[in-house]
């Protein structure tokens, strides 16, 4: 009996994961407007009843997708926290230093956002119709995902407690704002007189992002004045 119950539980969890995978594919390929119970069931090769029996309905399904998306960001941050990840995201800084790790996290955030703009919008922008994550859920996923960033800020700044969290919030604000501008195609169509990128310059986004993040780190005292360009 125990073995049968364990197998049933494992099967239940596997089907939940398959449904969440299917929902994320829909978000990436079709957009948030197509994120319905019927679409998710079709993409997973199952029935709508499977969604209701495993998640209780659309809200439960979307909460699971929301959690998974932030878990993916957490995993991207963790990968970038390794010495290899820091070196990949922070050229010009000593690999493995607290600052290089922080810059590696910043670049990992941009890569994550650009990999699936609809997923990023689901996480940080306007949620799908009739779905609003609770404050408790937001706190849970944000604390889990941004732990590596807060830790990197603490190591780079020497701040502790609330001060470290507040500094990390400023750093994230720069990251989020710069990514948002890039996703909105502002670099391709800048404001009149704001010649931030030459036409066809595919590397402008990354350079502007790096410069903006470094400027924030300089303003916070995490990079020496005059070094915000990374030169």
CATH code where residue 158 lies: 1.10.357.10
| Residue 10 is assigned to a structural domain of this protein | yes
Taking the C-alpha atoms of 41, 131, 173 and 202 in order, what is their torsion angle to the nearest 10 degrees? 40
Residues 88 and 202 in one domain: yes
Nearest residue to 115 (alpha-carbon basis) of 183, 62, 181: 183
Residues 10 and 95 in one domain: no
Residues 103 and 139 in one domain: yes
| Residue 115 is assigned to a structural domain of this protein | yes
Residues 12 and 126 in one domain: no
Contact call for residues 175 and 192 (beta carbons, < 8 A): no
pLDDT tens for the chain, 231 residues: list them.
455 556 566 677 889 999 999 999 999 998 888 888 999 999 999 999 999 999 998 899 999 999 999 999 999 999 998 766 555 555 445 445 888 899 999 999 999 999 999 999 999 987 776 788 999 999 999 999 999 999 999 999 999 999 999 999 999 999 999 999 888 875 555 555 555 555 566 677 888 899 999 999 999 999 876 665 554
| Residue 225 is assigned to a structural domain of this protein | no
Residues 111 and 172 in one domain: yes
Rounded to the nearest 10 degrees, what angle do helices 117-124 and 2-30 cross at? 110
User: 34: which DSSP letter?
Assistant: G
Q: Which two tokens stand for residue 110?
A: 């941009």
CA distance 65 to 19: 9
Indicate the pTM of the whole model.
Answer: 0.84
Please enumerate in sequence order all residues whose Cβ is within 8 A of that of 142, keeping only pairs 6 or more positions apart, or say none. 70
What residue numbers bound the domain in which 210 lies? 69-219
SS3 content of the chain, % helix, strand, coil (to 5): 70, 0, 30
**Sign of the Cα pseudo-torsion (55, 60, 61, 63, in order):** negative
Provide the 10 A C-beta neighbour count for residue 29: 11
């Amino acid at each position: 009996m125990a073995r049968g119950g364990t197998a049933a539980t494992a099967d239940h969890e596997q089907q939940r994961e398959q449904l969440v995978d299917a929902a994320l594919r829909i978000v990436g390929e079709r957009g948030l407007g197509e994120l319905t119970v019927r679409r998710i069931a079709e993409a997973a090769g199952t029935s709508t009843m499977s969604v209701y029996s495993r998640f209780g309905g659309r809200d439960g399904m979307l909460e699971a997708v929301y959690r998974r998306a932030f878990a993916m960001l957490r995993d991207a941050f963790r990968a970038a926290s390794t010495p290899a990840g820091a070196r990949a995201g922070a050229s010009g800084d000593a690999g493995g230093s607290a600052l290089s790790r922080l810059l590696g996290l910043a670049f990992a955030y941009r890569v994550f956002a650009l990999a699936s703009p609809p997923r990023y919008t689901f996480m940080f922008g306007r949620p799908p119709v009739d779905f609003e994550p609770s404050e408790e859920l937001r706190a849970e996923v944000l604390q889990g995902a941004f732990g590596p960033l807060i830790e990197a800020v603490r190591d780079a700044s020497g701040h502790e407690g609330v001060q470290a969290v507040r500094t990390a919030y400023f750093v994230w604000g720069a990251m989020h704002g710069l990514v948002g501008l890039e996703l909105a195609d502002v670099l391709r169509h800048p404001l009149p007189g704001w010649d931030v990128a030459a036409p066809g310059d595919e590397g402008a986004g990354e350079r502007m992002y790096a410069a903006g993040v470094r400027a924030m780190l300089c303003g916070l005292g995490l990079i020496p004045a005059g070094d915000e360009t990374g030169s």
